[in-house]
Each structure stands twice: as structure tokens, then as C-alpha cells.
Amino acid sequence: MPRLVLQLRIGSIALVALSAGASLTVVRRGWAAHLDRVLEGELEREARVVAAALDERDDAPQVTVRRLGPMLRHRVSVIGTDGTVLGDSHFDGASLRLMDNEAGRPEVVGALQTGVGTARRRTAGVGVQVAVAVRAAPGVVRITADVPKPDPGTIALPMLVLVVTLAVGSVWGADRVSRRVTRPLEAVRRVAQDPDVEMVTGPSGVPEVQVVVRAVRRLQEEYRTRLAALRREREEDRAVVDAMIEGVLAADGRGVVLQCNPAMRAMLDLSAGQALPPLRELFHQAEARDVVLTAMGGGIVPGRQVDLHDRTVVMAARPLPDGGTVLTMLDISDVKRLEMVRRDFVANVSHELKTPLTSILGYAETLLDDEPAPDTRRRFLQVIRDNARRMQRLVDDLLDLARIESRAWYLDRVPVAIAAAAREAVAVLGDRARERGIDLVVTIPEPLRVVADPGAIQQILANLLDNAVRHSPRGGSVTVSGRETDEAVSFAVSDPGPGIPAEHLPRIFERFYRVDPGRSREEGGTGLGLAIVRHLVEAHHGRIEVESRPGAGTTVRVTLPARPPGLDVSSGSAGA
């Protein structure tokens, strides 16, 4: 606001100049009138002095005025009631008879009528004269004097004082007005430039300015309210976008990425603070680039499946009204993987069931169509029974695995003696082991206990022992051992079998995975035992490890926490 202040001050100085000129004229006129009044008063007093002298002395009027005129330094005249000049200080007695009658003079008329008369007239060669007459005994006493011209020096000092006073007053007034006007306007200017700035200003004495200040304050409050609402909506929208599992990316018309949620960054393998390249350079795959270019060109891509490295995503894109682009990606890698697992599972189950069903059907048709010998019939029936039991084991394992994975069972955690559970599992498999000439040895210390589900521990040991018996050579020995560490309990099943090659170890816990498919089926395995064991161990927050080398046997070790976290009996973890 400096320009406004300067304008106000210049205006004040101009006002002072105009006021000084007008004041000078007024003062000059006033001063002249004042001097006239003073002169008239003085002349009236002198006239009365002359009138008093005429009353006190018996001298002729001419004698008195000739004597007093030089003393008063003004022309003194005595005029009779009929206008005849009876005496005049400027003329002698002989000249009086030659003077004109003064009865018509205004001052004489006024004095005769009211007691005092005054007149002003201009005389050639003399200038302006003032005549004051008062009524006296002979008629009228008149004093005539020249009106002096005003002395410039006489009014110079008052005028100087007046001009200085007006100048100081006007500048002070301009500053005061400018402060009362410019301070609120300066606050308004700051708010207009930055609405977040607090508007601090006192009341203005100018009503119009105060109205503007109040209006700006209302606008600022409304702006802040709407801005807060917009920020809230933006934060809510950002929170929703960030919480989406679908990747969302927005770019402007030049392809500069403006927003990218965490899901999109995860799909693009970008960290949270990593800068994003332009949209045209974000993808290197031809299909993905085609989606981006189509959207940036104004086209709409409703959904297209694209392979990005090790991910499979569905990309969709559409242009924005301002020329920008919105790109979304949904990672369907897990869905594809589950679909593949489902297909593999159906294929594996079908394959596992096909062999025993084929055997059962073939032997049953043979028994129906032919009349084999009793020994042959018995052998055929045993094959049908064995294949039916194999199918039953497969179905039982599938049901167990389904219930474990769907968490349809709940763990009933109680202290379990590992040695006793191992002996029960050995007792169940004792006949099969003896048929193969395999010794089952339990070396677990009796005090060894773990807080777990007894049925789950029993099933873990049974499946591990079943695998060990099936893969051990005749005359071998399967050992069940155990030990306790600081906060965990572990037990292991070791067999002297052929071992497992290293490339198969990562996959042996997958459903239906077999290192030697032909031999496993001949031994009656379902391919689900180790998958069930893995799920049961993970349900107890434990871990399972395999140590094996070809020709050196296999050891499967299970490690469980001695007391699971929280001991929540209804934790929802699956168990047997």
C-alpha cells in the first residue's frame, strides 16, 4: 500500500496549498475589516472627545477644532443640524463659508438619527476615507481619516503560523487516515495472496473499508471450511486407494505419474520412496506398453491379461477428461496358481483312483465271466480288497487334508508324552514292519512332553513311520528319537532307505508328489502323507526339516514349541 499512502500525502499537501490560498484571502479581508472597525472605534472616541470639549468651553466651534485637530491628527469638522459647516480643522474661518452643505452626507444623517454615523468614500488623489460622526450640542462632530493600506508584514506571521498549522495537521490527518485505510487493505491483500494467512487488523473508521474487511473474512472462513472438507475427502480417497489390493496409477497428460498406491508399487517391484519414471517408460513388455499407449491416445482398455515377469495381471486403462490417464492392475498370479493346483489336484486324484478302480473292475469282471479255481478266486478277491483299501486310504487322506486346510478341526492342546505316542504308532505299524523284517526302535526319553493335540501328534508319527517302513529295505531298522531344547521339543524318524536326491527335497511336502511314483504306488502310498504332516506341524507353529542323501537314508525332524503362544485352545488352527 505505499502508493496509496503517497497519494494520500500528495493530496494532503495539495489540500494545504489550496487551503492556504483561500485562508490568505480570508485573513487579508478579515484583517482589513478588523482594522476598519478599530479605526472607526478610534474615530468615534475622538469625535466624542471633541463633542465633550465643545460642551465644556464656550469657544466657537472653529476655534475648538483648530486647536484639537493637530492633536488628534485627523480632520475634525463641526456641522450644524442644517448641514452648515461650523468648523473644520483643515480650513480657516473665511473658507468655511465656501464649503458645501453637508446635510446629505450619510454619516451626518446617521449621527442626527441614531447618535452615531459612519461613511466610507473614495477620494481622488487621497484614497479611501472613513468619516465617523457623533451628535453634539451644535449638531454633529465628524472625524475624517484616511484608511491605511494593510502592511504585508503585519499579517505575515499569522499567515505563516496558519500555513504551518494546516500543513502539519493535514499530514498528520493523512497519515492517520492512511493507517486506518491502508492497514485493513494491506491485511486484505495478504489474505488474497495467501488465504491461509491469519487476518489480523483492527477496526477501521472508514465504513466502506470495514465492509470489505468483513466480506473478506467471511470468504476466508468459507474458503478454509471448503478446503478442510476437500482435504478430508482427498485423504479419505487416498486411504481407500491405498487400501485397495488392485494397483492404481494416475498420470497427467504428459505422462508424469501423479499417484501410485502401494499395491501398484508392489506389482512393479518399486519401493515406497522410489521415484517413478514417465508412464511411457514404466513398462517394457509389448502388451503392457500397448495398453498404456492406447489409454494415452484417448482409447479405453476394459481389461487385458498381461504377463509381467513372474506375475500375471489384468490391466485396465482409460483417459481422463483433462488428458491424463488412469491405469489399474489386478494381480491374478495366485488365482492362476490355484487354478493350476486345482487342475493338477483333479488330475492326480483321477490318476490315483484310476489304477485301483481298473484293477477292481478287471478282477470283478473276470470273476463274473469265468469260474476260476478256488485259489485263483481267493487271490483275485484279495487284489480287489487291497485296491479297495488303497482307495479308502486315499479318500481318508483327502478328507483329512481337506479338513485340515479348511480349518474344520480345532486343536485340543494338552501335555502329550512323545514316547507314548511313538509307541502307539509303532504298535499300529508292527505287523507291516514284521512282514518286511524291519525293526521299529523308539529312543525318546520318557519325560519328553509337548503341549499339543494328541491326535495330531499321533497322525504325524504314524505318517512318518509309514513312509519310513515303505522305503526301508528288508532287515533295516527305523528309529524314532527325540530331544528337548530351551523352548522347543523335537522328534525325528530315521530310516536306512535309498535317500532322496537334493532336487526333490523342496517338493516332497506337495500333494501327490513322489520321488519314485511307480514304487510308491506299489507300496500303497497315497502321496498325501507328508502334506498332511506339514499342515499339522504348521498348525502347531512348528517346523519340519528333511535330511537325506542318496544311499544314506532319510531323517525327518519335527520341531514344536514346548508351549505354543497364548495356548489358545480355540485358535482356529486345524488339527486331527
Q: What does the pLDDT profile of the chain (576 residues) look like in tens digits?
A: 456 556 666 766 666 667 666 666 666 666 667 777 887 888 888 888 888 888 877 778 888 888 888 888 888 888 888 888 888 888 887 777 788 888 888 888 888 888 888 888 887 666 788 888 898 888 898 998 887 766 655 556 666 676 677 667 766 766 666 666 667 777 777 777 777 777 666 565 667 677 777 787 788 788 888 888 888 888 887 888 888 888 888 888 888 888 888 888 888 888 877 888 888 888 888 888 888 888 888 888 888 888 887 788 888 988 888 778 888 988 888 787 777 766 766 666 665 666 678 878 887 888 888 777 888 888 888 878 877 877 776 676 667 666 666 665 667 788 888 888 888 888 888 778 888 888 888 888 888 888 888 888 888 888 888 888 888 888 888 888 988 877 888 889 998 888 888 777 777 777 666 665 544 444 545 567 778 788 888 888 888 888 888 877 889 899 888 776 654 433 333 333
Q: What DSSP assignment string belongs to 225-257?
A: HHHHHHHHHHHHHHHHHHH-SSEEEEE-TT--E
Listed in sequence order, the residues at least 6 apart from 189 whose beta carbon sits closer than 8 Å to its beta carbon are 1
Candidates 406, 575, 419; CA nearest to 483 is 419
Residue 140 contacts residue 108 (beta carbons within 8 Å):
yes
Residue 150 contacts residue 31 (beta carbons within 8 Å):
yes
Domains of the chain: residue spans and CATH: 2-150 (3.30.450.20), 154-227 (no CATH), 244-331 (3.30.450.20), 336-400 (1.10.287.130), 407-567 (3.30.565.10)
Residue 114 contacts residue 101 (beta carbons within 8 Å):
no
Candidates 115, 113, 98; CA nearest to 47 is 115
Instruction: State the helix-helix crossing angle for 61-72 and 2-56, rounded to 10 degrees.
Output: 150
Q: β-strand 554-561 against 543-548: which pairing, if any?
A: antiparallel
Radius of gyration of the chain (CA): 64
Candidates 312, 315, 316; CA nearest to 340 is 312
